[in-house]
């Protein structure tokens, strides 16, 4: 039997939950109870900023370890200062533990020149066990129309769109955009606050509740289709994980309805291969002055 | 000149911001810097529970005092245990102060039999100055259709609907429901997760950012139109205040799209008399077992 090494082998074997790039880059080293060291990877940056959903996944992993319940149900994060690749520490606090839900608080800090901790994000989250949800479906939301995967546009369909400051994160994601929301990539933004695409991790790892925290913030922002040039930093982001995702690619739909007064909200919905709503979020983001 | 006293006079004079029932019942007594005593009024209960939006307004008032910026922009609250009428204490912490935004944390506690503080709610909030928002409106959301005020159904249109556990709060609110979302009140819920109505405070006080925190949680819940009997307690509630509301009645639209797995989300949008989106929120609520 010939043993294959190298790129061909790596491409042939899909990563599984636990040994994927995503898991390596969100790994934590316990320091003391409730305190975890982390390394923010430069691989998850866009426009020079560490992706907010990647940061949420790191914090989510910490609280999943610190709290009695394993899965994030609702996570509400306030982004205080911009994170950058490099060392970080996460400090958690158990706030309340109940029978089916527990609530915790977590902060991510980095270090300034003299080693002082600077808080980047503070969040509250309520955790439960997604495997213990009642099976009943009273009124399920239905996904919006998406073109089939083959008709959507991905990395192989054209040059990397010119995103100022780079887009390292795109190497780790397999995103295929609905052509109706890809005009920005060829200099023709639609003017509508919409972004839709198929989503999976580039190394094939299946989705799970932690990767859903990344997923709601991983698509190009609706700001691109609104013709907004420049970074729209996230002020606050609340995510609800509604169901454990089935294996297979996800569909993500972003919507912005109210861009006014210097802020916009961006709503995300994530649908799995069984057409179920697995995650939903809203973030409030600040628009650049003078757009 | 005859001086009029009593009910006729009280009805003739609208309350103004500051001396309304809402302001009296959300008043705080500073104890030490950042710590405020409060009294949770029985006047703002429904189904024996102290209304979540009223609690948010109390916490919002505390942070408005404690932080350098006056107005809530985004408030994310996790509800830990059920509040009841009676004494409470709010403890705040300034987390980060910036040029245009500052972030704080606040908790509301009540007292158990031996005086130990029991945490009811913990929240994070980012504050700013709504009067300093840029005037530009890039892509404004538009309100959904509402029947005119006179065609909507209020307290004078029929007996108080039978809400188990009472509905004290309704005495303090002037809500007129879209008839299309009022079937529950006559035992004929539509089965659709929608609730719409005109909203103002019963004593005529104009809306402001603090009363908007109440408003997003003040209408009958979509659960009533979904035919769900029994309390759907709020697990988490995030509110964004987008604009200082103009004077006059508000329109509130609630939507639930995904009631599944024992939870539902309820989205609220609040529109002012200038047709502007002044507040939006999402809450995650737990459905009663077996509905």
Alpha carbons A106 and A87: distance in angstroms, whole number: 17
pLDDT exceeds 70 at position B169? yes
Window 144-163 of A, Cβ < 8 Å to B: none
Q: Is A134 on the interface with B (CB under 8 A)?
A: yes
DSSP state of A288: P
Is the C-alpha dihedral spanning B149, B152, B153, B156 positive or negative?
Answer: positive
The alpha-carbon gap from A31 to the nearest alpha carbon of chain B, in Å, equals 24
Position with higher pLDDT, A18 vs A265: A265
CATH topology for B21-129+146-286 is: Porin (2.40.160)
Alpha carbons B279 and B244: distance in angstroms, whole number: 9
Cβ of A257 within 8 Å of Cβ of B141? The answer is yes
Alpha carbons B2 and A15: distance in angstroms, whole number: 85
Instruction: Report percent pLDDT > 70 for chain A.
Output: 95
Q: Is A119 on the interface with B (CB under 8 A)?
A: yes
Residue where the block lists tokens 């069984």: A274
> Binning pLDDT at 50, 70 and 90, where does residue A164 land?
confident
- As to burial, measured by CB atoms within 10 angstroms (0-12 exposed, 13-18 middle, 19+ buried), residue B13 is exposed
pLDDT computed for residue B148 by the predictor: 97
CB A220 within 8 A of CB A226: no
What does the block give as tokens for B19?
A: 């001396």
Q: Is B280 on the interface with A (CB under 8 A)?
A: yes
pLDDT computed for residue A167 by the predictor: 85
> Binning pLDDT at 50, 70 and 90, where does residue B15 land?
confident
Q: Is B138 on the interface with A (CB under 8 A)?
A: yes
| Contacting residues of B for A134, CB less than 8 Å apart | 261-262, 289
pLDDT computed for residue A198 by the predictor: 98
Q: Is B91 on the interface with A (CB under 8 A)?
A: no
CB B245 within 8 A of CB B237: no
User: How does pLDDT run across B269-284, given as a tens digit for each residue?
Assistant: 999 999 999 999 999 9
Task: Give me the interface pTM, i.e. the ipTM.
Answer: 0.93
Please state whether the predicted TM-score (pTM) of the whole model is above 0.90: yes
Cβ of B262 within 8 Å of Cβ of A73? The answer is no
CB B244 within 8 A of CB B277: no
Window 48-87 of B, Cβ < 8 Å to A: 73-74, 76, 78, 80-81
Cβ of A135 within 8 Å of Cβ of B242? The answer is no
The alpha-carbon gap from B107 to the nearest alpha carbon of chain A, in Å, equals 11
pLDDT exceeds 60 at position B240? yes
pLDDT computed for residue A290 by the predictor: 65
CB under 8 A, 24+ apart: contacts of B155-160: B158/B185, B158/B186
pLDDT computed for residue B165 by the predictor: 79
> Binning pLDDT at 50, 70 and 90, where does residue A9 land?
very low
Least CB–CB distance from B260: residue in A80, A138, A262:
A138
User: How does pLDDT run across B29-61, given as a tens digit for each residue?
Assistant: 999 999 999 999 999 998 788 999 999 999 999
The alpha-carbon gap from B223 to the nearest alpha carbon of chain A, in Å, equals 11
Alpha carbons B233 and B120: distance in angstroms, whole number: 13
Cβ of B280 within 8 Å of Cβ of A258? The answer is yes
Which positions ≥6 away from A271 have C-beta within 8 Å?
A: A143, A250, A251, A252, A253, A277, A278
Q: Which of A81, A71, A65, A76 is nearest to A33 (CA)?
A: A65
Cβ of B73 within 8 Å of Cβ of A263? The answer is yes
Element (H, E) at A209: helix A209-215
> Binning pLDDT at 50, 70 and 90, where does residue A118 land?
very high
User: How does pLDDT run across B177-208, given as a tens digit for each residue?
Assistant: 999 999 999 999 999 999 999 999 999 999 99
Cβ of B139 within 8 Å of Cβ of A80? The answer is no
Which positions ≥6 away from A102 have C-beta within 8 Å?
A: A67, A68, A69, A94, A95, A96, A126, A127, A128
Cβ of A235 within 8 Å of Cβ of B73? The answer is yes
Q: Is A122 on the interface with B (CB under 8 A)?
A: yes
CB B106 within 8 A of CB B59: yes
Cβ of B263 within 8 Å of Cβ of A73? The answer is yes
Mean pLDDT computed over A110-134: 97
Is the C-alpha dihedral spanning B59, B60, B64, B69 positive or negative?
Answer: positive
The alpha-carbon gap from B273 to the nearest alpha carbon of chain A, in Å, equals 17
Q: Is B99 on the interface with A (CB under 8 A)?
A: no
> Binning pLDDT at 50, 70 and 90, where does residue B290 land?
low
> Binning pLDDT at 50, 70 and 90, where does residue A4 land?
very low
């Amino acid at each position: 039997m010939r043993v294959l090494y190298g790129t061909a082998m790596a491409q042939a074997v899909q990563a599984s939950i636990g040994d994927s790039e995503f898991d390596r880059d969100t790994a934590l080293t316990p320091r003391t109870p409730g305190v975890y060291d982390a390394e923010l990877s430069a691989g998850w940056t866009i426009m020079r900023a560490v992706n907010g959903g990647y940061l949420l996944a790191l914090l989510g992993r910490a609280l999943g370890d610190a709290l009695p319940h394993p899965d994030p149900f609702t996570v509400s994060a306030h982004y205080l200062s911009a994170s950058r690749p490099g060392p970080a520490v996460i400090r958690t606090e158990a706030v309340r533990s109940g029978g089916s839900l527990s609530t915790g608080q977590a902060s991510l800090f980095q270090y300034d020149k003299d080693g002082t901790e600077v808080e980047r994000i503070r969040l509250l989250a309520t955790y439960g066990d997604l495997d213990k949800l009642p099976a009943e479906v009273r009124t399920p939301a239905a996904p919006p129309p998406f073109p089939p995967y083959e008709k959507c546009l991905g990395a192989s369909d054209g040059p990397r769109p010119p995103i100022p400051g780079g887009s390292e994160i795109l190497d780790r994601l397999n995103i295929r955009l609905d052509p109706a929301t890809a005009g920005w990539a060829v200099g023709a933004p639609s003017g509508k606050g919409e972004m839709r695409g198929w989503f999976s991790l580039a190394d094939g790892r299946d989705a799970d509740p932690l990767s859903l925290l990344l997923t709601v913030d991983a698509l190009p922002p609706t700001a691109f289709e609104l013709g907004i040039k420049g970074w729209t930093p996230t002020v606050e982001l609340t995510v609800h994980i509604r169901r454990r995702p089935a294996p297979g690619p996800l569909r993500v739909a972003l919507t912005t309805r109210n861009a006014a007064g210097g802020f916009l909200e961006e709503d995300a919905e994530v649908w799995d291969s069984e057409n179920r709503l697995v995650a939903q979020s809203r973030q409030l983001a600040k628009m650049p002055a003078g757009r």
